[in-house]
Structure 1
Amino acid sequence: MTFEVIIFYLLIGLAGLSLFFVFVKFFGLWFRALLSGASVSLARIVGMWLRKVNPAIIVDSRIMLVKAGIPIDPELLETHHLAQGNVRRVSQALVAANKANIPLDFQRAAAIDLAGRDVLEAVKTSVNPKVIDCPDPEKTRASIEAVAKDGIQLRVKARVTVRANIERLVGGATEETIIARVGEGIVTTIGSSETYKVVLENPDLISRRVLEKGLDAGTAFEILSIDIADIDVSENVGAKLQADQAEADKRRFQAQAEQRRAIAEAQEQEMRAQVQENRAKVVLAEAEIPKAIAQAFREGNLGIMDYYRLRNIQADTQMRNTIGGEEPTGSGGTGGTGGGNPQ
């Protein structure tokens, strides 16, 4: 026997041994599918293994679907698995939807799963409606605050009962949108109320008006009801705002008064400076009087009697100023005080 023949038989033996191990590895899975009426060929199972697909997930999911009366081609399950989808959750969702008489096919369920939504949770929410707290105490404040027209602030907590809308799960808005829209509706309803007492007397007024707005449009949910869980009176925001406005007006008026006072003081100082300037001009003008008198004497325009009469007038004026308590002014710079007519 030649060396080539020996190598050939060894290769055949290795191939047969490999096939035997593969058969042993997947025989149980294949046989379980066969007994369940959801047969999957052994070659397909081996092909899944070679494509790095977990055959157990595909086979078990197919068995579950077939037992529920939903025959799905294993190739579709394998394709969804290769697309990083959760085959087991999709299969469970299809079974749950079938039992609840909810129309849901594999293509839509796979699309919902690949979109990042939990399709099984969506089916459960369609069967058993979900209650959402508004606002979410884990993410925002504990209550929604709104102010009525009379300035009284109210704090409201609401509970929204929703049901998943399978048709709008792909591309529909999430719970956060529902919470935001309901909060907006509550604030609008309270803000349009004349007094806070109207809201306290009829809390269902908020629920009715919010439901009338159709807040579930474009979302993945259908709002069934909006219930006001708690409503409390907070504070008189209107009075507080008026007090703040009055304080701001007071400060503004004080600033304006201070500005006017500063302007008045500046004007007063300016007038005093002008008075001093005018007095200086008067003194300078009075200093020219003696020169003018001397010039008049030299030119013969002023006689001695005229001079004495001028001095008498100055003396009388000075006496009257002294009696009246007025500050004496310059006397023309002629020197001394005038008396009566010369003897």
Structure 2
Amino acid sequence: MENFGTLGLIAIIIVLFFMFLYYVPVLLWFSALVTGVHTSLIQLILMRIRKVPPTVIVRALIEAHKAGLHDIKRDELEAHYLAGGHIEKVVHALVSASKANIDLSFQMATAIDLAGRDVFEAVQMSVNPKVIDTPPVAAVAKDGIQLIAKARVTVRASIKQLVGGAGEETVLARVGEGIVSSIGSSKSHKEVLENPDSISKVVLAKGLDAGTAFEILSIDIADIDIGKNIGAELQMDQAEADKNIAQAKAEERRAMAVANEQEMKAKAQEARANVIQAEAEIPMAIADAFRSGNLGVMDYVKYRNIEADTAMRDSIAKPGSNKGKENK
């Protein structure tokens, strides 16, 4: 039992010792002291209470002190950490900017970091420009030939415009728009193929990096391919549309002609029916004339002779009747 009590006491002492080292980081305070960073042990303890990791703050202070950045203060680092910033990236960026003679203050670096941009990557891009490959951009020259161009845009981060400036997507969109405009204003696709650098000159002259977080250094046309003959396809489509319209109008006229023909046939049939009806009423009219005394026998004989003569003339006028006479 005494052994178990001794082991338990030792365990408690060890736990209390590590808790003491956690809340009272003596080693961290000592390492800061020997590197020339003056911070009190009480402040390190208060950092633990404020939920600020003392290790991150002290290491950042040591890095800044060794790089000659003596203006960075502990309170500012704590405030930036509590605001959700990245202490390590900010200090790395400040050190890199100092070595590269780039004017970057602590306030600007923290503002860029809180804006959601990688401030350390931005400083590196200011020193070492970045090459962005644009997606294939299709454009049509005035002669109707489609060209597909790919460009490489060399950009450098603009530190002063990182806060509120547009990103890479905007730069690529503007470059693509400039390529389309340049190719579209060319009289022939051959001119573009002969002088692809003319596209770069036109696009660069537009000042596409205005309002962005980057400075465009160069635009190089990496590749140009010939696409479809858009002009010919449009003409073919227009001709096909005109043909369909003409066919529709012709069909409309044919339908109207057929309707008119049917209407004329109906009117002719109606006229024939009226004639037949009138002819059927002739004997009745003659009988009424006889009864009323308006028609005599001699008048009726003359009427019959005229009718016979008319029938003979009609038979002679028919083609079949003439052929019969010739055969005889």
TM-score using structure 1 length: 0.85
Q: Measure how far apart 1:270 and its partner are.
A: 1.3
Question: What is the letter of the counterpart of residue 37 of structure 2?
Answer: A
Matches within 5 A, 1:1-343: 21-22=20-21, 25-71=24-70, 72-135=72-135, 143-325=136-318
Task: Output the CA distance in 2 between the equivalents of 1:125 and 1:255.
Answer: 64
Which has more helix, going by share of residues? 2
Identity score, percent: 62
**Count of residues in correspondence between the two structures:** 305
Task: Output the CA distance in 1 between the equivalents of 2:31 and 2:155.
Answer: 41
Q: Measure how far apart 1:24 and its partner are.
A: 8.4
Task: Output the CA distance in 1 between the equivalents of 2:284 and 2:149.
Answer: 97
**Structure 1 pair 24–156 and aligned structure 2 pair: CA distance change class (3 A):** closer
Task: Output the CA distance in 1 between the equivalents of 2:76 and 2:146.
Answer: 57
Question: What is the letter of the counterpart of residue 76 of structure 1?
Answer: E
Q: Is this contact kept in 1: 2:23–2:48, CA < 8 A?
A: no
Task: Output the CA distance in 1 between the equivalents of 2:138 and 2:78.
Answer: 51
Deviations 1:79-109 (A, max 9, x none): 1111111000000000000111111111111
Structure 1 residue runs of 5 or longer lacking an equivalent are 1-13, 136-142, 328-343
Question: What is the letter of the counterpart of residue 265 of structure 2?
Answer: R
Structure 2 residue runs of 5 or longer lacking an equivalent are 1-12, 321-328
Q: Measure how far apart 1:61 and its partner are.
A: 0.5
Question: What is the letter of the counterpart of residue 187 of structure 1?
Answer: V
Q: Is this contact kept in 1: 2:24–2:41, CA < 8 A?
A: no
Question: What is the letter of the counterpart of residue 53 of structure 2?
Answer: N
More off after superposition, 42-51 vs 220-229: 42-51
Match of 1:333 in 2: none
Task: Output the CA distance in 2 between the equivalents of 1:197 and 1:307.
Answer: 98
Question: What is the letter of the counterpart of residue 46 of structure 1?
Answer: I
More off after superposition, 271-280 vs 18-27: 18-27
Does the residue aligned with 2:163 lie in a helix, a strand or coil? coil
TM-score using structure 2 length: 0.89
Task: Output the CA distance in 2 between the equivalents of 1:199 and 1:178.
Answer: 22
Task: Output the CA distance in 1 between the equivalents of 2:94 and 2:32.
Answer: 19
Q: Measure how far apart 1:299 and its partner are.
A: 2.1
Q: Measure how far apart 1:69 and its partner are.
A: 1.1
Task: Output the CA distance in 2 between the equivalents of 1:258 and 1:176.
Answer: 53
Q: Measure how far apart 1:66 and its partner are.
A: 1.0
Deviations 1:149-205 (A, max 9, x none): 000011100000000000010110000000000000000010011100111111111
Task: Output the CA distance in 2 between the equivalents of 1:253 and 1:245.
Answer: 12
Question: What is the letter of the counterpart of residue 97 of structure 1?
Answer: A
RMSD: 1.8
